[in-house]
Amino acid sequence: MERVRQIIANLVSNAYNYTPPNGQITIHIRRDQDEVQIGVKDNGIGIAPEEEKRIFERFYRGEDPLVLATAGNGLGLSISKQLVEMHQGRIWMESQGVPGYGSVFYVALPLKTPEEKNKKISEILDDDDDAYILN
């Protein structure tokens, strides 16, 4: 579960860093048959269409001035992709590439055991006493 938290934390951190003050970040979590889908949506700078194919590459950072002005090494999304794939999941994004319309990053992770498949999402994501409050 710790690696799943790392994935979500990275996506939320990116959304926070690339969304202007008073912007909006929304996290959706839902169950779809035998998987849990997580979406992190923002109304930030968006990702240009020509950058979409490279967004999960190691060390890749976009060309937007806000990206260049924000500390980072371009590993977060690459690591997130590796972690998702280690869990036999999928990660993808959607963006119109227009500032203010932002991006949505999605993660889909399979529910592998019969016990997981019979649990509610809140039980799967809250399997210990850790809690995260996002403002």
Q: Where are the domains of the chain?
A: 2-118
Please write the tens of the pLDDT for every residue from 1-47: 788 899 999 999 999 988 988 999 999 999 888 899 999 999 988 88
**pLDDT reported for residue 53:** 87
**pLDDT reported for residue 135:** 29
Q: Are the C-beta atoms of 44 and 14 separated by less than 8 Å?
A: no
Contacts of 98 (CB under 8 A, 6+ apart): 46
CATH class of 2-118: alpha beta
Cβ burial of 129 (10 Å; 0-12, 13-18, 19+) is exposed
- Residue 128 in this model has a pLDDT that exceeds 60: no
Mean pLDDT of 76-84: 92
Say how far apart CA 51 and CA 61 lie, in whole Å: 9
